[in-house]
Amino acid sequence: MKVLLINGSPHKAGCTYTALCELAAQFQKNGVETEIFQVDPKAQSCIACGACKGKGRCAFEGDGVNECIKKIEDSDGVIIGSPVYYANISGGLASTLDRVFYAKKSFAGKPCAAVVSCRRGGAGSAFDRINKYFSISCMPIVSSSYWNSVHGNTPEEVVQDKEGMQVLRTLANNMTWMIRCIEEGKKAGIEFPEMEAKITTNFIR
């Protein structure tokens, strides 16, 4: 059982990373392996070239996007973390996730969650932004006892956010539970529902 923790901050060991470490420690207590994947803060934005169509990978190599797709595919669950930048996610993460989800389209059935780190405000809209990738991809979003955010300007401040830390531990426990339920379900012959061929409309036809 493995959960991928994605660090969308340019700071490899900053506040977002501190939140991911709290998750990793709780997953470890639950017997779940974790890996932290560092997003390239200079990741190229999606240029809508469409070269990914049907391929499941982006045409641009070398900035971690295709590696990220593979790592999500190989994991049993994924948690995406971002610092809050002007009430949104970091630019590097936005570029990465646009290309990951546009190329791959779907990680259907994979449990997922968003975590955001901010000094003071804008956590809600950044959290929503990450959840939008999941909820267009048939991915079950795991929740906690609050919207997953931590507050602080430094890692030392983040660990003082006791409620934020607890929300993360609860999230790790809830995701462990969901992954185990899915595993047991598979053993009992319960598979993720087959998807219909996609119907795409643009509201006028």
Ligand X SMILES: Cc1cc2nc3c(=O)[nH]c(=O)nc-3n(C[C@H](O)[C@H](O)[C@H](O)COP(=O)(O)O)c2cc1C
**What does the binding site for ligand X look like in residue numbers (CB under 6 A)?**
9, 11, 14-17, 83-87, 117-122, 152-153
Residue nearest to ligand X (CB): 14
CA distances, 59 to each of 89, 100, 133, 197 (Å): 23, 11, 20, 25
CB nearer to ligand X: give 17 or 101: 17
> Least distance from C-beta 25 to ligand X, angstroms?
17
DSSP secondary structure letter of residue 76: S
CB nearer to ligand X: give 17 or 37: 17
> Least distance from C-beta 127 to ligand X, angstroms?
12
> Least distance from C-beta 85 to ligand X, angstroms?
4
Reference 28, options 172, 180, 183, 202; nearest CA is 172
Read out DSSP for 118-133?
ESSS-HHHHHHHHHHH
> Least distance from C-beta 19 to ligand X, angstroms?
8
CB nearer to ligand X: give 109 or 122: 122
Helix (H, G, I), strand (E, B) or coil at 115: strand
CB nearer to ligand X: give 10 or 56: 10
Which one-letter amino acid corresponds to residue 113? A
